[in-house]
Structures are given as structure tokens and as C-alpha cells.
């Protein structure tokens, strides 16, 4: 994707700042378990938490978790709302800073992050704005870098995110606290902006969630063995028709990832 010259005003619009401690733990866990190599091989393990919200908890936690993989990891929290940048300053420390910025991802020395996270940011934009935001964000990644863009509920029990590389979207991950899942239908209301309005008949995401729900119903006999067994069984049967990109190790964590190409809007 092409680079762009830096604009003088942050690109984007300030939106509600709702956040919560530990809200993004499923994403953090996936990064440090599944995408470790992005951090390990980085010359400079620099991550950005874009749109961290009214309080900087998710950025603080991201730094702590990334440092378990790379003790020299750095996190920059970027926010378009200047009051939220000011409110975060007491949390700054070596390796963690807070700056004003938007989709242009302004970093000192024009540094490029290996990891860029935008959680619960695009959900408040129009669907038509997503492609341009992705393109801008991806163009700021270091070579081999990763953008995670997605949505979750207030306390992070249900989460759906898209992982993108510098060349664009690659996978969609569904992650849940299984004991509170109910059924896979609950993911419908947490779909990222690029998919949420496409959950209608004729679109791949609708077919996928319908198949997931059917697989869940068919796996009901496994419920007495525990919700994890039922989830594992459902996901295993999905693998017959959908290009899943992960396996039992992640499924056991209440996750499943699907190749973007199979879920991309028509
Ligand atoms: C709902 S909060 C999400 C907070 C946190 N990421 C989380 O998931 O808990 C969304 C935040 O994104 C910020 N925001 C919206 N558009 C932005 C942009 N283009 N660049 C940076 N921040 C943005 C808003 O100001 C708001 O504080």
C-alpha cells in the first residue's frame, strides 16, 4: 500500500472514550502467543495503541504483556482527543508514552511500529471510512508488521478482530470467554465495522455465523462434558467448510481464526 505525506491535523474524529482495565486481554494474549515472531524478530519492538480511550489502561497492559516476550518493547498510546492525552501523562514511564495523533500515526523520528492496535475505534465510524483508515494504518507499519483492528464488549468477554499486514487483511479471529458465551450468535453484535453491516443473507460473514450456530447446536450432546468440549467440537466441524488458520491449541482458549478471503464482503 502506498505511503502518504503526514497531515498537519490528526486524521479521524474523536469518539466516546469507553474503556476498561483488562478489556483487551484476549487480543494481548493472541499477540504474545500467536504472533510472537513479529516481536521477536523486530529490530525495534515498537507498538502503538491507537485510540486507547478515556484512561490508558489498555496501553499500560499491552506494554507489560509485550515485555514478557521482548523486555525492550515500547508502547506509544495515540489519542485524537487532547484531554485524554493529558490525562494519560501520569502513566508515562520509560518505554511508555502518550501522544496526540490519529490514523496518520505520528511517531518521533517517523518511526514505524511493528504492532499497531486499534480496538473499538472504527466501530464509531462509517463503514465507507474503513478501507481508507486501514490503508493509512497499514502504510505506517514496519516491514512484516501487524495491524489488529476489532471490536469487543465492555469487559472483553467477546471479541472479534481482523489482523492485517502491510499488504492488507489476512485473518479474522473470534475470541470469547466460553463460560459466558451462550452461543456463537453473540459474535454478531461485536463484528468489526467492515463486517457488521454485512451480516445479512448472501454475504460470507452471515453464512459463516449461521454455520457456526448450526455446528454449536449439533454439538449440544457435548455440553455435559463442559462448554470447552462443545466449542472444540463445533469449531472442528467448521473446519470442513471454512479455511481456519489456527488449530486446537488456540481453540482450547476459546478462539478461532478464519482466512479473511473467506469472510470478506462480496
Ligand atoms: C471506545 S474508545 C476505545 C478505547 C480502547 N481502545 C478500548 O478498546 O478499550 C475509542 C477511542 O478512540 C479514539 N479515536 C477515535 N478515532 C481516532 C483516531 N482516528 N485516532 C486516534 N484515536 C481515535 C476516541 O477518541 C476514543 O477515545
Q: pLDDT, tens digit, for every residue of 182-232?
A: 999 999 999 999 999 999 999 999 999 999 999 999 999 999 999 999 999
SS3 30: helix
Residue of minimum CA distance from atom 4 in ligand 1 = 53
Q: pLDDT, tens digit, for every residue of 38-96?
A: 999 999 999 999 999 999 999 999 999 999 999 999 999 999 999 999 999 999 999 99
Q: What pLDDT, on a 0 to 100 scale, did the predictor assign at position 8?
A: 75
Local confidence band at 1 (pLDDT 50, 70, 90 cut-offs): very low
Kindly state if the Cβ of 77 falls inside 6 Å of ligand 1: no
Q: What pLDDT, on a 0 to 100 scale, did the predictor assign at position 6?
A: 52
Q: How far from 95 is each of 21, 22, 50, 92, 185, CA to CA, in Å?
A: 20, 19, 16, 8, 40
Distance CA 61, CA 21 (A): 8
Q: How far from 125 is each of 15, 131, 148, 209, CA to CA, in Å?
A: 9, 11, 16, 23
- Best mutation site among 20, 23, 25, 53 for ligand 1 pocket (most ligand atoms within 8 Å of CB): 53
- Best mutation site among 58, 60, 80 for ligand 1 pocket (most ligand atoms within 8 Å of CB): 80
Share of the chain above pLDDT 90, in %: 97
Q: What pLDDT, on a 0 to 100 scale, did the predictor assign at position 3?
A: 41
The β-bridge partners of 228 are none
Q: What pLDDT, on a 0 to 100 scale, did the predictor assign at position 184?
A: 97
Q: Which of 213, 228, 214 is nearest to 176 (CA)?
A: 228
Residue of minimum CA distance from atom 18 in ligand 1 = 102
Amino acid at each position: 500500500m502506498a505511503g502518504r505525506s503526514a497531515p498537519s491535523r490528526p486524521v479521524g474524529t474523536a469518539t466516546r472514550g469507553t474503556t476498561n482495565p483488562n478489556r483487551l486481554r484476549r487480543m494481548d494474549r493472541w499477540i504474545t502467543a500467536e504472533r510472537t515472531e513479529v516481536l521477536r524478530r523486530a529490530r525495534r519492538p515498537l507498538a502503538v495503541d491507537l485510540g486507547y480511550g478515556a484512561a490508558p489502561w489498555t496501553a499500560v497492559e499491552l506494554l507489560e504483556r509485550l515485555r514478557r516476550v521482548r523486555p525492550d518493547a515500547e508502547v506509544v498510546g495515540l489519542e485524537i482527543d487532547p484531554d485524554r492525552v493529558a490525562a494519560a501523562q501520569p502513566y508515562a514511564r520509560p518505554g511508555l508514552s502518550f501522544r496526540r495523533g490519529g490514523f496518520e500515526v505520528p511517531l518521533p523520528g517517523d518511526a514505524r511500529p511493528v504492532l499497531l492496535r486499534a480496538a473499538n475505534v472504527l466501530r464509531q465510524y462509517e463503514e465507507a471510512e474503513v478501507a481508507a483508515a486501514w490503508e493509512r494504518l497499514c502504510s505506517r507499519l514496519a516491514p512484516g508488521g501487524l495491524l489488529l483492528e476489532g471490536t469487543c464488549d465492555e469487559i472483553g468477554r467477546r471479541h472479534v478482530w481482523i489482523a492485517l499486514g502491510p499488504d492488507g487483511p489476512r485473518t479474522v479471529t473470534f475470541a470469547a470467554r466460553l463460560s459466558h458465551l451462550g452461543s456463537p450468535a453473540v459474535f454478531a453484535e461485536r463484528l468489526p465495522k467492515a463486517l457488521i453491516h454485512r451480516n445479512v443473507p448472501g454475504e460470507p460473514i452471515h453464512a459463516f455465523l449461521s454455520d457456526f450456530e448450526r455446528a454449536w447446536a449439533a454439538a449440544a450432546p457435548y455440553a455435559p462434558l463442559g462448554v470447552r468440549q462443545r466449542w472444540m467440537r463445533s469449531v472442528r466441524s467448521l473446519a470442513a467448510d471454512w479455511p481456519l488458520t489456527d488449530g486446537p491449541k488456540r481453540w482450547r482458549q476459546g478462539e478461532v481464526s478464519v482466512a479473511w478471503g473467506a469472510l470478506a464482503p462480496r
